[in-house]
Amino acid sequence: MTERHAPWPAPAYPPPPAFPPPMPGRPPSGLFPGPSRPVFREPHPIGAAGVMAGLGATLLWLGLFGGLAHDLMTYAWWTIVAAITAWIVAFVLTLRGDRGVAVGIALAGGLGLSVAMAFVASRWISTYDWPLW
Rg for the chain, CA atoms, rounded: 30
pLDDT on residue 93: 94
Record the pTM: 0.67
More confident residue, 13 or 47: 47
Please, are residues 112 and 82 in contact by the beta-carbon 8 Å criterion? yes
46 burial (CB, 10 Å; 0-12 / 13-18 / 19+) is middle
Q: What is the 3-state secondary structure (H, E, C) of 69-89?
A: CCCHHHHHHHHHHHHHHHHHH
Instruction: Indicate the pLDDT class of residue 24, thresholds 50, 70 and 90.
Output: low
Instruction: Indicate the pLDDT class of residue 50, thresholds 50, 70 and 90.
Output: very high
CA distance 60 to 68: 13
Per-residue pLDDT tens digits for 52-78: 999 999 999 999 999 999 999 999 999
Instruction: Indicate the pLDDT class of residue 23, thresholds 50, 70 and 90.
Output: low
